[in-house]
Amino acid sequence: MTGQPYSATEMMICLAARQMCDGTTAFIGTGIPMLAASLAVRTIAPNLVPIFEFGGTGALLEQLPRAVGESRTFHKALAASGICDIMETAARGFIDYGFLGGAQVDPYGNLNTTIIGDHAHPKVRLPGSGGANDVGSLCWVTIIIIPHDRRHFVPRVDFITTPGYLSGPAARKAAGLPERTGPIRVISTLAMMGFDRQTARMTLLATHPGVTVEQVMDNTGFDLIIPPEGVGINAPPTAEELRILRQEVDPERLYI
């Protein structure tokens, strides 16, 4: 436990870091995933192999990269290749975790980072896929990190940039995607969600400290499944996690 105040962003970073297992590979995107990977390497997963879209594999994250293609993603790396090699690595089944964000997520974990509104006449054009489609399609498991409100948690995404479970439990296989892949966690500013094995719909697993189930439901644009065993409470960041995050991972406060 910690007596220190912490932000919702710091809570998400710490919770995301705790999902990583030592000795695994993780496809790391810009922003919070970078901080989570850096924190995990310094705490529970010293042998984590971070993989970046533009070719850096196994870099020592001594300093926080500012983007997925800059020099620090290659610093003392195990390998320096390119984007095609990285996507092939995922297609071959060698990347365990993928961390993704988005503008919209729906009950089946489909993500939109392409457009808001009608595709032909969108209200907003977003950055697009980049490697996000490949990550969600090919990594063994995906962890989604996203702010929690009805604007982000929607009944139906305006565009499927990255497939979750599409329309249900059998839809990924029918679409030709590898079996046993897909999102396993959604980490938001309010809670942590999983996915029901029978329906592939999003399930509320645990709220952040001080957040009620009602608050989560009120800020979600669809019905979350409440598991029969009840909803837990995520442990807050520890004093050591906050120290490492603030003093070693992101001392310039680029993201926190």
Residue 96 token pair = 């365990």
- Flag whether 2 is in a domain: no
Can you give the residue range of the structural domain that contains 208?
8-249
- Flag whether 88 is in a domain: yes
- Flag whether 1 is in a domain: no
Pairwise CA distance, residues 89 & 60, whole Å: 20
Non-local (6+) Cβ contacts of 239 within 8 A are 2, 3, 4
φ, ψ dihedrals at 195, nearest 5°: -135, 135
**Res 1 pLDDT > 60:** no
Residue by residue, DSSP assigns 63-129 as: S--SSTTSGGGSTT-SEE--HHHHHHHHHTT---EEEE--SEE-TT--EE-SEEE-SSSEEEE----
Answer for the pair 219, 145: CB distance below 8 angstroms, yes or no: no
- What beta strand segments (E) does 102-219 contain? 104-105, 111-112, 115-117, 122-125, 141-146, 182-188, 191-195, 202-207
Non-local (6+) Cβ contacts of 207 within 8 A are 190, 191, 213, 215, 216, 231, 232, 233, 234
Tens of pLDDT, residues 188-227: 999 999 999 999 999 999 999 999 999 999 999 999 999 9
Mean pLDDT of all residues in 56-77: 89
- Flag whether 24 is in a domain: yes
- Flag whether 16 is in a domain: yes
- Flag whether 118 is in a domain: yes
Cα-to-chain-centroid distance, residue 90: 16
Number of domains present in the structure of the chain: 1
- Flag whether 124 is in a domain: yes
Tens of pLDDT, residues 144-165: 999 999 999 999 999 999 999 9
Mean pLDDT of all residues in 240-244: 97
Mean pLDDT of all residues in 18-29: 94
At 13 the pLDDT is 95
- Flag whether 255 is in a domain: no
Q: Known catalytic residues?
A: 53
Mean pLDDT of all residues in 92-98: 95
What's the whole-model pTM score?
0.93
| Residue 189 belongs to domain with CATH number | 3.40.1080.10
